[in-house]
Structure 1
Amino acid sequence: MIVLFSDYGQQGPYIGEIEAMLFRYAPSERVINLLCDVPAQNVQAGAYLLAALSADFPKGTIFFCVVDPGVGSGRDLPVVIRLVDHLFVGPHNGLFDLVSRWSATVECWQITYQPVKLSNSFHGRDLYAPVCAMLARQQPVPGKKISWSQRYNWPDDLAEIIYFDSFGNAWTGIRAAAMEVSKTLVVAGREIKHSDSFAGVPPGTSFWYENSSGLVEIAVNRGCAREELGLEIGSEVR
């Protein structure tokens, strides 16, 4: 199984081109588009989202991971990392910092594969997708093993808004397991109390809860937290 995680967005041809490349080189492999609207060019938000979303996939899953504002610059090594039973393919730009932190083991290889065609702006299609296909077919990927080190000293829990779903609910980078339910959050000058579910508060009331990915999420029952609280990516949570 190959799982796509990117900031390519819902519009445009990019996801289709990735899927076509994977079908070309690994036609029997199942491809799942997990998330394609990571906040654009926001590697830090992507790192926390990837750590939260990738844990429950089956053994042997290959993650295609591209949030790459430095594409074409040569400043970030293309890598494959193995975290126990999962493989992650993408740029070594901080995107894997959190998911590797929670892994019992980490192995890393610098990709040295040189595709015939390599655009300056779409390494996802030209480099990372073929590498994912090679791994899925258990073919050797040209590369060399290197020591792993995180790019940034980001905190275990990021007290910011990192993502909005289609309902306008605001995901934070805080693991719910690290938060006491008695905690009252302050977001955009508003106090936000905990509720186990939407049904636990009246319509129009804002609250926070543990979402299905284990993160603290801020919502408004039958409303849009993004609009009603005036939130944006990077809004501070206290």
Structure 2
Amino acid sequence: MMNALVLQSDFGLEDGAVSAMKGVAHSVSKVIPIYDNTHDIPPFDIWSASYRLWQTVTYWPKGTVFVSVVDPGVGSNRKSIVAKTVSGQYIVTPDNGTLTHIAKFIGMESIREIDEETNRLPKSGASHTFHGRDIYAFTGARIAAGVISFEEVGQMLPIKQFVSLPYDEPVIQEGTVRGSIDILDVRYGNLWTNVPRELFLQLHVDYGDKIEVMIEYESRQVYHNVITFGRSFAAIHIGEPLIYVNSLDNMAIAINQGSFAKAHNIGTGASWRMTLRKS
């Protein structure tokens, strides 16, 4: 049975790297359905690669194969793996932390290490800098097209034997929720936090309430204001800030028809901390 192949990378579209991956996949099967998740992951940003998979994977049918290539360690001794999620999708990726969010929020059924002797593009053995083409796209296409089974990928690894990135859990204490800014809704500059809606609602808030928001970078305060908790952007005027529930059921912060990130020079990652309390 032919399954979809979904590609993501930090390659961008300025050159032929993504096209080469698709060409390899079509060399496995001319009719394999190939889709793009994104190729605009910031260069070397494994955290963003992990997050974008979590944002997408469960919306694709069982059997879909994702190939994620953000691989600053290409050519090193890091493993090449395929993970099967509990919902039946496959993820082909370097073992460098890309599975962090999948493991935490979706769950993995099993992991296999790619046997690079048998699952590698023929005549590519001298190349050590484009495993996205030579190993990941080739192996992912073979799985999606049914040329090989999951069992034929390579040896099974212990389910917990994979690289995971540090993750700071959001907490609530004395009427204050503390969390981090995980990523941006890039095109619009909205801040996506790791604070789930259910934790935020323990502040006993409702739509229209005012929320005190403080954002710090490495313990230095960069933003402090009181903003509205709204159902959608229609709840506020253009140019006003808003805290809302995003599509992953986490709390997010935005400016209506503006970029919150650009307006306040705010970035993402573990160093960007945030507190929320009912005003």
Normalization by structure 1: what TM-score? Answer: 0.88
Q: Which residue of 1 aligns with 2:174?
A: none
The code of the aligned residue for 1:25 comes to: V
Q: Which residue of 2 aligns with 1:122?
A: 130
Q: 1:48: how far off?
A: 2.7
Asked if 1:138 corresponds to 2:151, the answer is: no
SS at match of 1:63: strand
Q: 1:70: how far off?
A: 1.0
Q: Which residue of 2 aligns with 1:102?
A: 105
Q: Alpha carbons of 1:110 and 1:138: their partners in 2 closer, same or farther (altered >3 Å)?
A: same
After alignment, is 9-18 or 59-68 more displaced?
A: 9-18
Among 55, 59, 66, the alignment partner of 1:52 is 55
Q: Which residue of 2 aligns with 1:168?
A: 189
Q: Which residue of 2 aligns with 1:225?
A: 260
- Contact 1:52 / 1:214 at 8 angstroms: preserved in 2? no
- Contact 2:67 / 2:140 at 8 angstroms: preserved in 1? yes
- Contact 2:193 / 2:251 at 8 angstroms: preserved in 1? yes
After alignment, is 81-90 or 4-13 more displaced?
A: 4-13
| 1:173-184 pair list within 5 angstroms | 173-180=194-201, 182=205, 184=212
Aligned partners of 2:34, 2:95: CA distance in 1, in Å? 23
Q: 1:194: how far off?
A: 2.3
Asked if 1:195 corresponds to 2:223, the answer is: no
SS at match of 2:147: coil
Q: Which residue of 2 aligns with 1:67?
A: 70
Q: Which residue of 2 aligns with 1:15?
A: 18
- Contact 1:168 / 1:219 at 8 angstroms: preserved in 2? yes
Aligned partners of 1:129, 1:53: CA distance in 2, in Å? 19
Asked if 1:154 corresponds to 2:162, the answer is: no
- Contact 1:184 / 1:194 at 8 angstroms: preserved in 2? no
Q: 1:44: how far off?
A: 2.2
Q: Alpha carbons of 1:17 and 1:26: their partners in 2 closer, same or farther (altered >3 Å)?
A: same
Aligned partners of 2:107, 2:190: CA distance in 1, in Å? 32
- Contact 1:72 / 1:121 at 8 angstroms: preserved in 2? yes
What is the root-mean-square deviation in Å for CA atoms of aligned residues? 2.3
- Superposed CA offset, 1:37-62 (max 9, x none): 22321222322332232121111111
Aligned partners of 1:214, 1:229: CA distance in 2, in Å? 24
The code of the aligned residue for 2:159 comes to: W
Q: How many residues align?
A: 237
Gaps of 5+ in 1: none
| 1:32-51 pair list within 5 angstroms | 32-51=35-54
After alignment, is 3-12 or 108-117 more displaced?
A: 3-12
Q: 1:237: how far off?
A: 2.7
The code of the aligned residue for 2:144 comes to: A
SS at match of 1:102: helix
The code of the aligned residue for 1:190 comes to: H
Aligned partners of 1:28, 1:178: CA distance in 2, in Å? 46
Q: Which residue of 2 aligns with 1:237?
A: 274
Q: Which residue of 1 aligns with 2:218?
A: none
SS at match of 1:132: helix
- Superposed CA offset, 1:165-214 (max 9, x none): 22222333444444327354323313344221111111111122222233
